[in-house]
Amino acid sequence: MVTLSELQEQVANVVKKLTRSVVNITTTRLLPSVFLLLVPVKGVGTGFIIDDEGHVVTNAHVLTDVRRAEVYLNNGEMVEARLVGKDPWTDVAVMKIKGSDLEPVELGDSDKLSVGQFVIAIGNSFGLAGGPTVTFGVISALGRHIRTERGPLLAGLIQTDAAINPGNSGGPLVDLEGKVIGMNTAIIPYAQGIGFAIPINLVSKVAKDLIRLGFVRRPWLGINGVDVDPKMARHYGLGVSKGALVVNVIRGGPAWQAGLRSGDVIVAIQGVEVKGMDDLIGQIWEETPGSKVEVTVVRRGKLMKLNVVLGTTPSY
């Protein structure tokens, strides 16, 4: 049984270890003023070092429409930085910095998380001087899907009650062993005590693609669809009251080759329930191009299972 004082010491040790790997990102954007003149507007964000080569991950939205970005180490030193790539669909960006004695974080396994687990969020809250801000909480839920103010769906997120404030975006969410299990990304502005983090396994996968290719190889099913609701189900006699209704199958795409057709209702991927399009997108994005997935559909009231080999999202 861990005492409160032992827990406090453990948290303090984790923070001391991690802050050496956390960087402060200061950005400048040119935005129109009321007089239609472009004026420089400062922004702040957080990032953390993931390897010995100086690669830093942060949120893509931190670097959106930025004219200039400055990266500062924990000791206050400004280091040279360049953008490697960013992916707005997962809100992950990678920068590369130059500096001496760069210390990468230790990555955990976000597939092994549990609701109720203690976590620590570290970030550059509000851009305040005096070092990073640290907050403590628990994992409130896993596998959350949210639509951000910026538009894209962020799927499979970790929900936490550890406070994530402006400037914390891109900072690490860590467990009590000091391993990074997520990257802080979004807060719901109208809710209190709810923050989200991108699972580190996804961050790592996206970062590897950005470093190696400059873009992300995203799995592709090859359908267009809509959410099923009870009213739609009754009107069309779909046989199920929730799922993802296939409206169009891209000819020649992975779903077409596997035998999916318009009018099918996708109710599960790999045996995991699909309640709507957000669930479908989130589960597909957890896979990799070339992987085979079992897609369960309802067709004319009958349950069917089809194996689909996922493709790579085409660039149009």
Residues forming the active site:
61, 91, 169
Residue 16: which residues within 8 A CB-CB, separation 6 or more? none
> Which H or E element spans position 153?
strand 153-160
**Residue 83 token pair:** 């953008």
170/52 Cα distance (integer angstroms): 19
Report the candidate in 225, 215, 172, 175 with the shortest Cα–Cα distance to residue 195: 172
Strand order in the sheet with 55-58: 78-79, 68-72, 22-32, 38-49, 55-58, 92-97, 81-87
| CB count in 10 Å sphere of residue 194 | 18
Torsion-angle region of residue 265: left (phi > 0), alpha (psi -120 to 50) or beta?
Answer: beta
Hey, is 276 helix, strand or coil? coil
